[in-house]
Chains A and B, each alone.
Chain A
Amino acid sequence: MSMVVVRLVLSRIAIAILTLGFVSVAVFVGTEILPGDVAEAILGQGATPEAVAGLRAALHLDQPAHIRYFLWLGGLLSGDPGRSLVNNLPVAELIASRLPNSLMLAAVTAVVCVPIALTLGILSAVWRGSLFDRAANFLTTSIVAVPEFLIATLAVIVFAVRLRWFPALSYAAGIISLDQFFRLFALPVFTLSCVLTAWMMRMTRAAMIDTLRSSYVEMAVLKGARPMRVVLTHALPNTIGPIANAVALSLSYLLGGAIIVEIVFNYPGLARLLVDAVSTRDMPLVQACVMIFCSAYLYLLMLADIAGILSNPRLRHR
């Protein structure tokens, strides 16, 4: 790798870290505009002024905002984002109990989606304008345009209510057999996969079409290479960068989509923890969960850009 590439990648990482800093300020300011006093809210109306003052000091609420921001950021970075306002459990513990479930859901969905989406995307690029391409285009446009809970509810009605193949809810508690594992994950993964596949397929198709329009592909076609060979040996190697970019970008959809899916199927993941925290206004928990989601999002965007940089042959062979 040349110095240029190293410098580009390093500066992309630096931008990601700076952006994450901005996001942390935005999240902190956003959650601090809460009208009213947290200490009073916790202790209720009957609290003595001394008790409120004591709790304010314990929560550092008597400090100015910028000091509190750095205290909070330091806590996050050292793995101690404080305690929940609702049940006084450490936020880190609450998150640790949910994060593996969410990662599991995301991993299973990614493993299912990536091969399907890439195959379909490449095929519809190769056969662009065909009936298959137009049908796929209509289907993906529609899936992307409807709310996730419509897909989830239709999936439940078809697979759980009518066909009785899978349970409508999923509980990932205790030791479960492989068969149970499959049955529990089937519907949440199906719902997420529909949307994720649609996004990924559209982006893959666009990336592939871009390459297929290039002059060296035209050259390969003109010299008489068979269509399959043109796609696999001439076009595909040069599309890996853009496709990796598309995969990383569409995986970032999982973060938002998981929120609805975890609620519909009562899945004990991080997103449901966040939604519960928002409805009970449990600020330390909201802040920590949102920071995890935003970091994951920025990380995926960064990977997408780095894939783009690394795959650019003009930079690689300088």
Chain B
Amino acid sequence: MSEVLQGYQQKLVKAFKAETSEFAGEVTVLVPAEKIIEAARMIRDEFGFDFLVCITAVDYWPEEKPRFHVAYVFRSLSQGLTLQVRAPIPGINPSLASIESVYQNANWQEREVYDMFGIQFEGHSDLRRILMPADWQGHPQRKDYPLGYEEPQYTFNFDDIAARKPAPKE
């Protein structure tokens, strides 16, 4: 790990009581959820991480507190550094401040997380479903959402399944 990155990490720990960890040469900083927007500002303006790579979430169901981790990957093009930030949030009414005002491409990224995990982003300009149809029930990438496995048709059960499979009108 570079010394510069270590310095940034220390600053985040001091400012937000963050926890840090390192795995496979990558630094992850666990920032409290309510401070995420200040942290994002600090990361962009003070540290010079000008590029938001991605936002995603991880569901630790049936763990409840915290159930989700929202993971951010930031990158600094001039310094050549990558930083992962995570915000833990509980499973009941999960919500988080939107960082769309800091990084503009967070808009669709957060919409995707909302669509797939049902995490509300407060202050988002256009929080609608993005990938699934607007009337879809549930949030597919939560761990308690079934994959939706359908039984494959083989020769021995072909007729049974063909009988209950929906067939179109001509």
Decide if A and B are genuine partners.
no
| Contacts from B to A (Cβ < 8 Å) | none
